[in-house]
Amino acid sequence: MLIINVKNGETIDRALRRYKRKYRDTKVRQELNRRKQFTKPSVKRRHEILKAVYKEEKVNSDN
């Protein structure tokens, strides 16, 4: 559970903005989407490999 302490004289908008930033940084939404449906380990590994290949091509294309 995220806890945001509202400081003296702080507007609710500012506190809400801090809450949203903290929520985004904890990656709660990514975790929920990941758990929504099961991904086989072989498919997950394939995506990791493709991502690594893509990154390597990006680095090599700059040279």
> What DSSP string describes 10-52?
--HHHHHHHHHHHHHHTTHHHHHHHHHS---HHHHHHHHHHHH
pLDDT of the residue at 24:
87
- Give the pLDDT means over successive 10-residue stretches in the chain (63 positions): 87 92 86 89 96 94 74
pLDDT for 25 equals 86
Cβ-based burial of 53 (10 A; exposed 0-12, middle 13-18, buried ≥19): exposed
What does the domain layout of the chain look like in residue ranges? 12-61
The pLDDT value given to residue 63: 63
Q: What is the pLDDT of residue 11?
A: 92
Distance CA 27, CA 15 (A): 19
Determine the pLDDT at residue 45.
97
